[in-house]
Structure 1
Amino acid sequence: MILKIGTQRTATNRNVLPEKVAFAGLVLFLVLPAEPSVLASELPAMPSVERVGAGSYARVAPAGARRPPETVYVVDTLRPPFPTNQWWSSVLWMPLSEAQYPHPLAVRAEKTGLRVFYPGPHLMVTPRSILASMPNNSADLTIGHSNVAAFDEARVEAYSDWFVTVRFGDLKKGMSLTYGHGSPFVYAQYRGGAARIVFAQKPEIWAGSLAQHAVAVSVNGKHYALFGPRGSKWTAVDEKTWVNLADQSPRFSLALLPERSEKVFALFSRYAHSHVMGTEVHWKYDPATSSVVTTFNYTTVEYEGSAPGTLFALYPHQWKNTDAKILPYEYESVRGTMKLAEGQSFTVRMTFPGVLPVLPATASWDRTVVDRYLEEDCTKTRGAPGDTYWEGKWLGRQATLAALAAENGNHAVQRELLRQIQQRLEAWFTAVGDNGRLKSTGLFYYDDRWGTLIGYPAAYGSDTELNDHHFHYGYFLRAAAEIVRYDPQWADPARWGGLLQMVVDDIACSRRGDPRFPFLRCFDVYAGHSWASGHARFADGNNQESSSEAMNAWCALILLGEATGNTALRDLGIYLYTSELYAINEYWFDVSGDNRPASFPEPVVGIIWGGKADYATWFSARPEAIHGINWLPFHGGSLYLGLYPEYVRKNYEALVAHKGGPRWDQWADLIWMYRALDDPQDALRQFNAAAGRFQPESGNSKTNTYCWIHSLLDMGRVDRSVTADHPLYAVFRNGEHRTYVAFNLRAVPVTVHFSDGTQITVPPGKGMAVKQVTRNYP
């Protein structure tokens, strides 16, 4: 066994795979070797190279390679690895920060302190965007220091799973401010001074008074409470500036109140000085119910007699699935309504819908046609290594083709495709060429200043900005999973498992305190989804475009873990996959229609930001791209897209309306595959009308398009009402027929129990079982 776990795409064009080379007769595969490599066991001692099993990685960047910046804005006591790709990451990359969106608040570190704003009431809708950003030159208030007029820097002092502490100034004269996802509080500890609050306009006092330590105000139509230490009072320097006068214990808490009432002021007063000092998430996959239970824990320090625990606002994907007692108070956000709860922890339970390595071959597959498409799709050359994104897409494409070839019984093609993938991955997992020198391309380098693994050639800022690592490396892992499905020993630590582990850990290390990689780099445990930007230096905060490419990575972890018997890795993948799935359905798709303003005309957004949601992509304004970027790549882990077929129809019909009919200028194959999740007959009609005269999206193939549509034609829609006690499963419904599918990658037979009482036994080692049951279903 292996694994012991526990620049944005600003380019306006995408690379394309090399031109197809036609051959007569048998399929001929041309994959030109990457730069020749030497196995780790054959390497001479090189300080610039670290051996890991049969592989190796570079400890120095290859010649001409670009790297992330040398300066990381943290206090001296913090050491790498550092958590990039978070909602607050801009603090690490800048002397101060860009806007951060912990929600319901928005904050920004500036020279005068931490600017605070509640964007909820200011939400705006345009034909292409939902905007809830932080204005550049106005705010509700700024938390500053009574004896420091301006700060040159704000540095990260501490962080936990969804909270961060930022230090302004030094240990003699400065302040440390703590804030986090879902928290209506900002906590401050002062040195050499006390709280200085500058309001955007003269505040109205409606509870407490300046003569008391606690006072509630309204400013800019929003309501806040200011809590100094007990025994302190406030003085007004001018009508918009207040300073807290505290003899001792100069601490301060700010609270955003959900409404103007004495009752709410009293509720927040109870928790005002229960400072959140740590947050931790824990997950558990329950096979019996096919569910993931996620627990969110708060560690608090109670000052001033405050109650233990804290108040927290839950996002829709949380409050719809939680056991927490919801209080009758709400905040508005760009994600929808956030609901207030209290306590020291809460749990969320979500259903895991299963994944498959590949859709099964069904009766309507014409094996001769599939072989013909395989021949056409596989006669493509592949030269020197491309950048990690486009190389990854090619690897993922070949992995899907290999799985489909096996389903079609064409094992010669399958073996050749697996050989290509394995050769290519092993070359990437080896840092030294045949000449005994460090390779210049097609390798991984570990950057110890940040604690990250960077593949070269890089793309879209994956080197200098640490963007998109889960997108790029997810394809590598998906390809590795297809190898390991048939050869688990390939992932043994003595072979290639060590490098595979590093790739996994770079995007999703599950171990807090790991010496090389941060905890869950790309994933935001509270928001429930990944972020793509490593730096988040945008006025609208961090962002993620292709949620489906994140799902591709998490599916790969599930398959790798299941194939190697590593349940910790499998369960990590299931947690990430399930959480991201729920966030996608709430925020990218809004399948329930609950979370977006009624005036927003689109059923989908292409990019989620901290402070907005856009019907857009980074690379194209075409509707096909805006919809399709959150579908690709299609494979056996993509069935989640069809959990709500009524929404699939809505999404598809909106795309048709944009185009004035089903006339596709690009990515027709992806659109047909998505259409097949609701109406496979119409998808097949469009596919047949093209008569093979279409160019698949670069990471897809004609083979995959044909097989996907025909499998769904026979099996029907995804049936979300039935689950199973095994992770590799799917259930489909076609009229009175229900089809149950399960894969077994284990060495012993597995009996899979479905929640409706159906059972199927799957033979060991790469086995698959399909059972069809006909009943009069309601």
Structure 2
Amino acid sequence: MQAITGNAFPTVVNTAIPDPPPFFAQNLPTRPLPTNAAWQNFVLKKADQPEYIHPYLVQSKHGALTVCYPARAVNTAFIFQAFVANFIISCGPSGSHKLTHFDDLSVTLELPGPLMVPLVRGSPYITCIVKGGHLKFSTIHAVLDVSSFNDCTKHKIQFNNGQTWLLYSSAPLKLNSDLSVSGEFLGVLRLALLSDKVNQVADKKERVLDRFSTCYPISAHVDLTTPFRISYKWKTRGWGDLLMLSHSVHRQIMTVPGHDKVISEFSYRSMDGDLVAIVGDSWVLEETPIPINWYSIKGFQSHNEMQTVVSALKKDVADLNPIKTTSSYFYGKAIARAARLALIAEETHCHSLIPHIRDFLQQSITPWLDGTFEGNGFLYDDKWGGLISRNGAQDSGADFGLGVYNDHHYHFGYFCYAIAVLGKLDHNWARRFKPQVYSIVKDFMTVNPGEGVVYPRLRNFDLWKLHSWAGGLTEFADGRNQESTSEALNAYYSAALLGLVYGDTDLIGIGSTMAALEMRSAKAWWHVPLNSTVYESEFVQENRIMSILWANKRDSGLWFAPAQWRECRLGIQLLPILPITELLFSDVGYVKELVEWTVPALSREGVGEGWKGFVYALESLYDKDSALQKIKALKGHDDGNSLTNLLWWIYTRGTDDSDCSCSYSMKESSRYCS
């Protein structure tokens, strides 16, 4: 990304959120700090809520580390993993932990003792580095048996809940039948679940765990220097090869390792499907490149269809009025809606309409960048290190929690889209406000934090899960969460468009890479086709799309609507409708299942016209004529959408055998704008 460091907005005292709690160790940088990390609960409030470090739930409380291999509760409304104190480890007095290290794939806690715990996501073992002291083990279960092997460096522990655990130690450990420990211990412990009542096939699993117990990861790094290529590298200690677990999206794009590197029969269940073992301290993931287009991929197919879009476009442009809301989210949607009209005007060669839209965008966006917007504005919070709104700095509920770092990629994604379009239309304006523009996009798109950089690395994007989180600095028992993957996709797509405007190849590359990964994860975990094997059939039968995906839960209810409002569930995973949307919903068979599942909800009294429009937009992928009639009959549209955009969407889908060469030419279309 181009070398613009620092922040171009004034600093504000953020009273909506307290100073960072005292859980960060002194050796860590004071600013900027992560605000949507997978381990965020470890530094919020009392820092005693568990986090899901696949495949275990892990809690740090009162100086003890509690490990849980969770059982799964499933019904038609949600899938949930309950935290149970399966195995408790401590080595000192009661007290709080310190977070001494964090990176892309791990976090390290120091508990009293001291007890160092590098929690590396996807490790089948929990590793504890004991600096010396009296170890204490306990459980809420009855201990049925403790067996010791290899001169007391391996112990097999059976509980009455059906679980069997293996405990490895780098030095002899005298473990008694009640889990008490005789004498002091100095060394490394590795704890792993061998089996539970769901999976009793343990012989081969035990041999694998024995083999790889001597090499443990302590940190990791993800390299993103090459577009669409993600390289994992773990730093290890001990000896031998490293064993890690991969989820399904990893395996979809992982460069094929040798047959001796994949242990397909060694797996753990997780909230995200089976975690399969991979041998090696480095992985390479190769995502399929995606195009970043300003316009539709296939273009218009006929004169008459383009004329219909032009007629709607003229009316929508004429109806552009000053934006009344001061909400950063809804304001962003409004300017992005206008920006869509500008690009559709370009695609239909209606150049005479563009100056009016350009002026509207300039008048609407500039006050947010030069500090003259009345009622709100963007400011820099140096407590955590990020861009927030003036209203969000005073009220944790304002702007949907922007001041507590909720939904940053959503809000700023809409602004980035509108700014990119305006910058495309007015290069002088883009150059004038480049520092402010880069402050906005770098809030959630910084890749290489360093000296002079005031935003954390990829604020929202999770480089292990390969999608974003939106929850910000709010403590949740189920960890981070995200509702709208399509708005996350919009953010990264829009960042790539900004890269096109400024000739920033790094921003184009990282934006398009994040967009491709977000889209792949949405299809894997948010889209729920009838033949899904990721989730249990009981949940799949009643849900065609996820509402909120949590680290430790899957939910059919939305933040703003119940599960029965299926049109909202569909719409929030579709909006805003953009050229890249056709890649997100490329599986027409699944789209038909989703629409047919949603349509009965439209007969409910009070269904919003805007939400109907999103349902009909997807219906058009397999029944264009039916969807078109319904869209033309709508009495209103979502505040980020328009009749012009819906008609553009329908008329640029093409046919199965069409390509860009058969699209109606831009030159011919210009006569419709006379």
- Structure-1-length-normalised TM-score: 0.77
1:469 and 2:415 correspond: no
CA change 1:687–1:461 in 2 (3 A) is closer
Matched residue of 1:352: which SS?
Answer: coil
1:391 and 2:334 correspond: no
CA change 1:685–1:389 in 2 (3 A) is same
> Counterpart in 1 of 2:483?
545
1:478 and 2:417 correspond: yes
Code of the aligned partner of 2:536: P
> Counterpart in 1 of 2:266?
329
CA offset digits 1:378-398 (Å, max 9, x no partner): 524335661211111112111
One of 626, 630, 633 as aligned partner of 1:682? 626
One of 432, 436, 457 as aligned partner of 1:519? 457
Which structure has greater helix proportion?
Answer: 2
> Counterpart in 2 of 1:115?
66
Give the drift of 1:217.
Answer: 2.3
One of 194, 215, 218 as aligned partner of 2:155? 215
> Counterpart in 1 of 2:39?
88
**Counterparts of 2:341 and 2:155, CA distance in 1:** 65
> Counterpart in 1 of 2:281?
344
One of 210, 216, 236 as aligned partner of 1:300? 236
1:333-372 equivalent positions in 2, closer than 5 A: 333-359=270-296, 360-363=299-302, 364-367=304-307, 370-372=310-312
CA change 1:545–1:106 in 2 (3 A) is same
CA offset digits 1:148-202 (Å, max 9, x no partner): 2x22x22321111010012223xxx432212132122222223452432212213
Code of the aligned partner of 1:353: I
Give the drift of 1:299.
Answer: 0.9
Matched residue of 2:167: which SS?
Answer: strand
Matched residue of 2:401: which SS?
Answer: coil
CA offset digits 1:460-492 (Å, max 9, x no partner): 553442110001100011111112223445444
Matched residue of 1:577: which SS?
Answer: helix
1:612 and 2:559 correspond: no
Two-structure CA RMSD over aligned residues (Å): 2.9
Give the drift of 1:576.
Answer: 0.5
> Counterpart in 2 of 1:444?
378
Give the drift of 1:66.
Answer: 3.7
**Counterparts of 1:86 and 1:226, CA distance in 2:** 29
Give the drift of 1:321.
Answer: 2.8
**Counterparts of 1:702 and 1:251, CA distance in 2:** 63
> Counterpart in 2 of 1:233?
174
1:569 and 2:490 correspond: no
CA change 1:411–1:217 in 2 (3 A) is same
1:338-737 equivalent positions in 2, closer than 5 A: 338-359=275-296, 360-363=299-302, 364-367=304-307, 370-376=310-316, 378-383=318-323, 386-431=326-371, 433=372, 441-458=375-392, 459-492=398-431, 495-513=432-450, 515-535=453-473, 537-591=475-529, 593-600=532-539, 601=541, 602-621=543-562, 622-659=565-602, 665-666=608-609, 667-688=611-632, 690=633, 693-712=634-653, 715-716=654-655, 733=656, 736-737=657-658
**Counterparts of 2:110 and 2:173, CA distance in 1:** 23
Code of the aligned partner of 1:416: H
Matched residue of 2:648: which SS?
Answer: helix
**Counterparts of 2:658 and 2:54, CA distance in 1:** 45
**Counterparts of 1:498 and 1:320, CA distance in 2:** 38
> Counterpart in 2 of 1:32?
none
Matched residue of 2:274: which SS?
Answer: strand
**Counterparts of 1:410 and 1:707, CA distance in 2:** 14
Give the drift of 1:410.
Answer: 2.7
CA change 1:411–1:156 in 2 (3 A) is same
CA change 1:427–1:663 in 2 (3 A) is closer
Matched residue of 2:537: which SS?
Answer: coil
> Counterpart in 1 of 2:243?
311
Give the drift of 1:272.
Answer: 2.8
One of 92, 108, 123 as aligned partner of 1:165? 108
1:64-143 equivalent positions in 2, closer than 5 A: 66-72=15-21, 73-79=23-29, 80-119=31-70, 122-134=71-83, 138-143=84-89
1:276 and 2:217 correspond: yes
> Counterpart in 1 of 2:672?
none
> Counterpart in 2 of 1:723?
none
Deviates more, 1:539-548 or 1:249-258: 249-258
Give the drift of 1:528.
Answer: 0.9
Give the drift of 1:377.
Answer: 5.6
Contact 1:3–1:497 under 8 Å retained in 2: no
CA change 1:611–1:207 in 2 (3 A) is same
CA offset digits 1:487-515 (Å, max 9, x no partner): 445444xx222222221221121104454
CA change 1:461–1:659 in 2 (3 A) is closer
Give the drift of 1:317.
Answer: 1.0
**Percent identity of equivalent pairs:** 24
**Counterparts of 1:421 and 1:612, CA distance in 2:** 40
- Unaligned 5+ segments in structure 2 are 393-397, 670-674
Matched residue of 2:619: which SS?
Answer: helix
**Counterparts of 1:273 and 1:395, CA distance in 2:** 56
Contact 1:403–1:482 under 8 Å retained in 2: yes
CA offset digits 1:126-148 (Å, max 9, x no partner): 122122242xxx32112222x32
Matched residue of 1:737: which SS?
Answer: coil
Code of the aligned partner of 1:738: D
Contact 2:322–2:364 under 8 Å retained in 1: no
**Counterparts of 1:653 and 1:253, CA distance in 2:** 49
Deviates more, 1:313-322 or 1:249-258: 249-258
Code of the aligned partner of 1:77: N
**Counterparts of 1:87 and 1:741, CA distance in 2:** 47
**Counterparts of 1:594 and 1:635, CA distance in 2:** 29
**Counterparts of 2:646 and 2:107, CA distance in 1:** 45
Give the drift of 1:227.
Answer: 1.9
**Counterparts of 1:354 and 1:467, CA distance in 2:** 29
**Counterparts of 1:269 and 1:283, CA distance in 2:** 34
Give the drift of 1:361.
Answer: 4.2
Contact 1:589–1:604 under 8 Å retained in 2: yes
Aligned residues: 641
CA change 1:110–1:461 in 2 (3 A) is farther
Code of the aligned partner of 2:126: V
CA change 1:369–1:262 in 2 (3 A) is closer
Deviates more, 1:638-647 or 1:523-532: 638-647
> Counterpart in 2 of 1:58?
10
**Counterparts of 2:357 and 2:68, CA distance in 1:** 54
Give the drift of 1:244.
Answer: 6.7
1:154 and 2:97 correspond: yes
CA change 1:5–1:139 in 2 (3 A) is farther
Contact 2:389–2:403 under 8 Å retained in 1: no
**Counterparts of 2:76 and 2:318, CA distance in 1:** 42
Which structure has greater strand proportion?
Answer: 1
**Counterparts of 1:245 and 1:461, CA distance in 2:** 53
CA offset digits 1:410-446 (Å, max 9, x no partner): 3233222222223333221223x4xxxxx77432221
Matched residue of 1:532: which SS?
Answer: coil
> Counterpart in 2 of 1:183?
123
> Counterpart in 1 of 2:395?
none
